[in-house]
Chains A and B, each alone.
Chain A
Amino acid sequence: MKLNERSLAFYATCDSPADNSGFLYKRGERHTAYHRRWFVLKGNMLFYFEERDSREPVGVIVLEGCNVELCDSAENFAFAIRFGGSKSRTYVLAAESQAAMESWVKSLSRASFDYMRLVVRELEKQLQEMSRGLAGGCGGSQDAPGLWKPKPSGLEQSRERLPALPAILPKENGCAVWNNALGADRPPDTSGCAGHMDEEGTPRPPPLPPRRRVSNGEAARAVAESPSTFCRLHEQYSREVARLRQDWQQRRRGPQP
């Protein structure tokens, strides 16, 4: 299968910061020797180089639909990246210390695009709930309009308008009180959906990085999302900036104070 290798190599070697990097031993394909390689994790791509200063990666592992687990091996500090599917390979790697192994297992298990998307959606939802709560007054016992002052509108009235000043939400507000602790070892929710709000408005934590096997349906999904809150907020802020700039320019042109 063709791949835009130059773009991949560029991504691997450009100066955008890596999410993790270091030497790891990689077991050869035919269960032979381990080779020491320089690994660079960026986003959901795990690149490996022959040497730390090599110009191009030797290979890349795309970290979608995989499980990262510790494994029994003669080699110390070994862990595996396991993919589902009959033809898929398991990559066995070994770190040079316990700390390095733990750091890699942690960063690799959170590396998938799917996981990132899950967290983003969860935060997006939280923000929407908060905005709605502030605009309409939260359903709880405390009604605190005096705690924050919405900016006099140059901005359009929109249901999602955020207050210009940082708001301190009343503690009883279900949106502001988080009492869920997500332990790192919890068994995952394999439904793959983000956390839901229950009746009282206390959100359940989203599932951990999915440990599911790759299913055929997943791979064949085309994504076409409608404009996100992020884009709307971005637009809002740029309108605000444009208006402020205009004000400032008008003041400059006006009579001297």
Chain B
Amino acid sequence: MSANRAAESLLALSQHEELVDLPEDYPLSASEDEGDSDGERKHQKLLETISSLGGKNRRKLAERSEASLKVSEFNVSSEGSGEKLVLADLLEPVKTSSSLATVKKQLNRVKSKKTVELPLNKEEVERARTPLEQEIFNLLHKNKQPVTDPLLTPVEKASLRAMSLEEAKMRRAELQRARALQSYYEARARREKKIKSKKYHRVMKKAKAKEALKEFEQLQKINPTAALEELEKIEKARMLERMSLKHQNSGKWAKSKAIMAKYDREARQAMQEQLAKNKELTQKLQVASESEEEEGGTEVEELLVPDAMHEAQMNADGPNPWMLRSCTSDAQEAEIQEDPEQLPEPLAHNVSESEGDERLVAEEEILLKEFEEKRSLRKRSELNQDAESVGSQETKDSISREVLFELRTLSQKLKENHQSRKQKASSVGTVPQVQREVPAPEEEEEALLLQRPERVQTLEELEELEKEGCLQNKELPRPVLEGHRLKKNPNNQTDSPKKKKKEQMIDLQNLLTTKSPSVKSLAVPTTIEELEGEAERDQKQMIKEAFAGDDVIRDFLKEKREAVEASKPQDVDLTLPGWGEWGGVGLRPSAKKRRRFLIKAPEGPPRKDKNLPNVIINEKRNIYAAAHQVRVLPYPFTHHRQFERTIQTPIGSTWNTQRAFQKLTTPKIVTKAGHIIKPIKAENVGYRSSSRSDLSVLQRNPKRLSAHHKKQLKKNSID
């Protein structure tokens, strides 16, 4: 009812509205169409007003930001409220109820009520319709399993009844703990599985190996049968290794590494590790238990004859004491002394070290062969011996002794080689890196060593030494050596005069003194007593030889000369070819002309580093500092020297007393924190604040202060 009334009133209004709106909104139409279009328009309007009654799809109100219809960026117009109202907006508070309201209410009521669920017949569920179902039900009944899916199975119910509350709680806690632990373990395992770092895995492997070893030992003590089983396992591994030859450096990987091994230390190490692993796996176990203990202690008891592939093995580290460098010599010596039974491997070629070692290689091969022969002999003798503890020890001792002796002889030969080569070679030549440091374990060496009170200084003395024939090894291929000698000689000769010249230059200067390194000294380890200093000396020697081509002083002098020349002002040459003489492509102007037109630059002031031979002082103008310096002479100064004198004094605290420094560096404005700074007042400065309104701002005379004005100032300051 109310809705109808509202609609009627609306109609009336809209009709009224229509009459007003018409001329503005619609363009003037032809007279013929007026009648039809009128009706249509009326209908449209009616529809619009009715739809707006519903409360939805209402036209949004225009925002009243500037209260004007015309909005422009250049002005703010003052015509405010010319906007017409829309009637529908005013009708919002009149809420009309729709005819469907009752239906809506019923629907809501129905939705809110909960539906009643009839319980199903239990019998219906359990009735077995087919034989299959019957069977299933029988089975379930037998095992006391529930047929339907209850909350608690009969088993669970029984167990619940059995436990009391506390017990139940405890058991639950236990289960929880177990679950938590399992989850931690799982998480940890997952994390660890992801680790890819090689270092980590290597460390893990080592640790595991150690643990395994410990366990094995324990197992031996506790349960010998289990130990025997472990042994069997090891045997199996050994068999596998021997059959498959997996770690023999014969696979694709090993071959590729072998190519790189020449240049890459890590490749070498990797190959070596593989071979070591092979040896480990294939080592033969002694039957008696003591031998196993020894095995546990030492790594290698016996070595097989190395394959051809082993020749490619590089030994930076490893049980080759005489192959090691001087710097690590001490550590290695100690090691050797500890484990004398470690059999050194045959000398390998140090191809990687330097090309020059090729000559060494040839000689070493021969020595190698000798050594191998002796070893094989020994081994045969070993095999014949008993494997008992005493016997083995004896053999070990004998082995060790033999080994030592062999070592000694080998070292001897090597040293001789070394020496002879050294005698020919100058220090400028290649550094024979091998055999420099020979472990001198025993005193017997002394007798065999070369020792001279004076050092060899010149070529002639060296030749003499040679002729003396100090234990030359006749097996060495002579022509090779001769070749070396010839090669080295010219080098030597060219170098020595150079060096002499250098020394002379330095002497002339008489300012720079150098401790001339006696470049031709022999780098032979002299006595055993000097073992400690030997390493350092050798190190120094090595460094000297490595940097023998670097003459720091000469380079510095050269640099200084260059700097001085560069900083000198250049002479200006204004000569032009032609003009009174022939000029052309290959012709130079005459000397007289050149003399005439050359403008010599005046010599500047003496450099600050003139009397300092080991210093180069850069006297170039610093652009960055110049950017902060003054370009034009400031006002009160008339001469630049005046200004410079005032500027010359440094301001820092190193050059001034503390008080002076503080005074020089006081800031122009000092403010206190929290203090309110008010705007300046004219009276404070001596200006007259004119209260006369007819005076314009510009008509002020700041210099003259009247008496009255002064009084005012005083008054203000007191305030």
Q: Do chains A and B interact in one complex?
A: no
Q: Which B residues lie at the A interface, using CB under 8 A?
A: none
Q: Which A residues lie at the B interface, using CB under 8 A?
A: none
